[in-house]
Chain A
Amino acid sequence: MDRIFWVRCPHCAGRFFCDYELRHAGLKLECPFCQRQFLPDESPELDERWFR
Chain B
Amino acid sequence: MARDLPGFLDHLRRHYPALLAEVERQVNPERFEVTALLEQLQRGRQFPTVLFKSTTNLRGQPCEFSIVSNVFATREHCAAALGLPPEQAGMALSLHYSELERRTIPPEVVGRSQAPVKECVRLGEAADAAELPIVRHYEMDLGPVLTMAHVIKAPDEDFYDVTFCKTFYKHDPRRMAISIHSPHFERLLAAYERRDEPIPVVNVLGHHPAFYLGALALAPWGNNDYATIGSFLGEPLRLVPSETWGDRFLVPADAEIVIEGEIPPGERVVVDPFGEITRLYQAQCLRQVFNVKAITFRRGAIMQDVFSGNQGHWNLGGIPKEGSIYNALQRRFGTIRAVHLPYSGCSRLACYVSIDKSREGQAKEIGLVALTETWTVQTVVVVDADIDVFNEQDVLWAIHTYVDPSRDIDLVKNVGTTVFTTAMQRSKVIVDATRPSHVAFPERFKVPDEALARVTLEEWLPQFARPAVPRPAEPPRPLPR
Which residues from chain A sit less than 8 Å from chain B, CB to CB?
1-2, 4, 16-19, 21-22, 25, 27-30, 32-33, 35, 51
Contacts and interface: CB of A to CB of B under 8 A. Distances in A.
11 contacts: A1-B418, A2-B418, A4-B283, A16-B140, A17-B281, A17-B283, A18-B285, A21-B286, A27-B270, A30-B284, A32-B142
Interface string B278-291: 00010111100000
Interface stretch (B68-76, B420-428, B470-478): B420-428
Closest 7 CB pairs of A and B: A19-B285, A18-B284, A4-B283, A19-B283, A1-B418, A32-B142, A1-B421
A32 B143 contact: yes
Contact of B284 (A1, A17, A33, A51): A17
A29 B284 contact: yes
B171 interface: yes
B426 to A, nearest CB: 8
A22 B420 CA distance: 18
The winner among A2, A27, A28, A32 for most chain B CB atoms within 10 A is A32
Contacts of B142: 30, 32
Given A16-B273, A29-B270, A22 B418 contact: no
B414 to A, nearest CB: 12
B225 interface: no
Nearest to A15: B140
Given A1-B422, A27-B270, A29-B270, A18 B143 contact: no
B276 interface: no
Question: Chain B interface residue count: which class?
Answer: 10 to 19
A4 B140 CA distance: 15
B181 to A, nearest CB: 12
B305 interface: no
A35 to B, nearest CB: 7
Nearest to A2: B418
A1 B273 CA distance: 15
Interface in B402-444: 418, 420-423, 425
Contact of A32 (B273, B285, B420, B422): B273
Interface string B364-378: 000000000000000
A51 B425 contact: yes
Given A16-B140, A32-B143, A35-B171, 17 more contacts: A1-B420, A1-B423, A2-B421, A4-B421, A16-B273, A16-B281, A16-B284, A17-B284, A19-B283, A22-B270, A22-B285, A25-B286, A28-B270, A29-B270, A30-B142, A30-B270, A32-B284
Nearest to A3: B283
A34 B422 CA distance: 28
A4 B281 CA distance: 11
A25 B273 CA distance: 18
Contacts of A29: 270, 284
Contacts of B421: 1-2, 4
Interface in B120-175: 140-143, 171
B462 to A, nearest CB: 52
Given A22-B284, A32-B141, A1 B270 contact: no
A38 B273 CA distance: 16
Contacts of A1: 418, 420-423, 425
Given A1-B421, A21-B285, A32 B140 contact: yes
Contacts of B422: 1
B273 A2 contact: no
Contacts of A28: 270
A12 to B, nearest CB: 13
Contacts of A19: 283-286
Contacts of A32: 140-143, 273, 284
A27 B420 contact: no
Contacts of A30: 142, 270, 284
